[in-house]
Amino acid sequence: MIVNILTIAGSDPSSGAGIQRDLKTFDALGAYGLSVITAVTSQNTTRFFGVQPVSADMVKNQIRSILSDFTLDAIKIGMVFDKRIIQVIYSELKGLDMPIVLDPVFESTTGGALLQKDAFEDFKKLLVPLAYVITPNIIEAERLAGIKIKTINDIHNAAKKIQRLGVTNIIIKGGHLPYKNKIVDVLLDNKRFYDFSHKFIKMKNHGGGCTFSAALCVEIAIGHDLPIAVKSASKFTSLSIKNATNLGKGLAIAEKRDREDAVTALLQGIVRFTKVSNIYQQIPECQTNFVYSNTKPGSLEDILGLEGRIVRAGTRVLPTGILKYGGSKHVGSALLEVSKRFSSIRSALNIKFDKNTIAKAKRKKLHVLSYDRSKEPLYIKKKEGSTISWGIHEAVKNAKSPPDIIFHKGGIGKEPMILIFGRTPDDVLKKLVKIV
Ligand code: PXL
């Protein structure tokens, strides 16, 4: 299911924050992003140079052009800059039955004013009550609540004060208040407080705040309750901050690149596979492939695999060829079929069939399934490349839980095979070492 999300925010040409960060985050999480630009900033990772607002009329026309065409699942509001823009957003969105995530942005990490001083009262009076949830950091929460924040207790008080401005749900991000290397994000979900404590990542970055509120907006659009949505958005943001890179000369830009992460995880998995003791004995005639997709695969092209194979050379095992999306047809098709039924399964590899390996897997309480190639219908046999999908489908169609292993005992001219499945390459390897 694709969700449509609109962000109403300012442009950041460095793509670290603002509209560009929102769209990248929506995209990374599988949502379709639409955008209404309120202001254009000129800034880079070292400095903020200036800002020019878009006219209120033009903001109105952009909003109308989107609302009259798309069915939206959620809206995020970021930088709004001035009074007239706030008033227009208010009149266009009031009365809409739609979750709105309001990220109060007052000042950029590179030092520019993103909300004019005389717009603050209208921001509180008009925009805050429109929101389903507001996501200030400590500094923004201090301004909104009108109190100083020094302790977790102060954060709770600030959340209650912000609630009185007319918004039910508040998340105050504790990043500016690290204590013993931990930070605490506080969610006030209507009447209930949740404190989410996580590790402080000491990394000055550009884009963390926008990433969090944009990810939260996707989570809410999908329909998750706030505590779950906050946890997952926060995890995505931490990964983005951990992954922040110095792309310009100044602040590192926070960004999570899924595809690169998949490459690293699979490469490490392949290297570790080749180091499993006596692993050469497990390589089948047709050699081994190891595949991974860290997003839900829709086709073979979403699955990373070796374009060559992991081959046996005497008692050594060597990866050949390059890692590529769509690189593996056989193990890739098997993964695709399993992941259609069990979306947690994202990685697989194949090893040589041996009935002792299967017996050991069962003794170790792994979930073992199989299919019988001799039962393959003729029309499938005739259709090039559909045997594996058919067989795996047969094996999993009545399964109640994800398989760890699927095997078949071969057919005329077909080598028998064992496939091991898991959530990640690491998970697959853990199962492998249990049984070989
Ligand atoms: O992170 C808040 C933010 C939002 N919008 C724009 C920004 C920034 C921070 O720099 O530049 C356009």
Distance (Å, whole) CA 247 – CA 12 = 15
Helix 425-435 / helix 355-363 crossing angle, nearest 10 deg: 100
User: Residues 253, 269: one domain?
Assistant: no
Question: How many folded domains does the chain comprise?
Answer: 2
User: Residues 290, 251: one domain?
Assistant: no
User: Residues 56, 110: one domain?
Assistant: yes
Instruction: Answer with the one of 239, 257, 275 that is the final residue of a domain.
Output: 257
Q: Are 392 and 371 in contact (CB under 8 A)?
A: yes
Give the position of tokens 């890179």.
245
Ligand 1 centre to CA of 118 (Å) is 19
Report the nearest atom of ligand 1 relative to the CA of 109. 10
For ligand 1, atom 6: residue with the closest CA = 18
User: Residues 274, 247: one domain?
Assistant: no
User: Residues 188, 302: one domain?
Assistant: no
User: Residues 250, 269: one domain?
Assistant: no
pLDDT tens-digit series, residues 339-357: 999 988 999 999 999 999 9
User: Residues 221, 301: one domain?
Assistant: no
* pLDDT for res 426: 93
User: Residues 242, 364: one domain?
Assistant: no
* pLDDT for res 205: 81
Instruction: Answer with the one of 214, 241, 257 that is the final residue of a domain.
Output: 257
Distance (Å, whole) CA 392 – CA 342 = 12
Q: Are 255 and 244 in contact (CB under 8 A)?
A: yes
Instruction: Answer with the one of 257, 275, 291 that is the final residue of a domain.
Output: 257
* pLDDT for res 243: 79
Report the nearest atom of ligand 1 relative to the CA of 39. 12
Question: Does the beta carbon of 78 lie inside 6 Å of ligand 1?
Answer: yes
* pLDDT for res 296: 78
CATH number of residue 69's parent domain: 3.40.1190.20
User: Residues 329, 357: one domain?
Assistant: yes
CATH number of residue 278's parent domain: 3.40.225.10
Which of 24, 76, 109, 135 to mutate to test ligand 1, by most ligand atoms within 8 A of the CB atom?
Answer: 109
Question: Does the beta carbon of 221 lie inside 6 Å of ligand 1?
Answer: no
* pLDDT for res 177: 86
List of the chain residues with pLDDT < 50:
none
Distance (Å, whole) CA 429 – CA 271 = 11
Distance (Å, whole) CA 5 – CA 26 = 8
Ligand 1 centre to CA of 105 (Å) is 7
User: Residues 50, 10: one domain?
Assistant: yes
Structure tokens at 388: 């594996």
User: Residues 245, 336: one domain?
Assistant: no
Question: Does the beta carbon of 128 lie inside 6 Å of ligand 1?
Answer: no
* pLDDT for res 260: 65
For ligand 1, atom 4: residue with the closest CA = 18
Distance (Å, whole) CA 436 – CA 358 = 10
Question: Does the beta carbon of 214 lie inside 6 Å of ligand 1?
Answer: no
Ligand 1 centre to CA of 263 (Å) is 30
End-to-end CA distance of the chain: 40
| Domain with 280 in it | 264-435
* pLDDT for res 247: 87
For ligand 1, atom 5: residue with the closest CA = 18
Report the nearest atom of ligand 1 relative to the CA of 43. 11
Question: Does the beta carbon of 79 lie inside 6 Å of ligand 1?
Answer: yes
User: Residues 235, 91: one domain?
Assistant: yes
For ligand 1, atom 7: residue with the closest CA = 18
Distance (Å, whole) CA 339 – CA 92 = 42
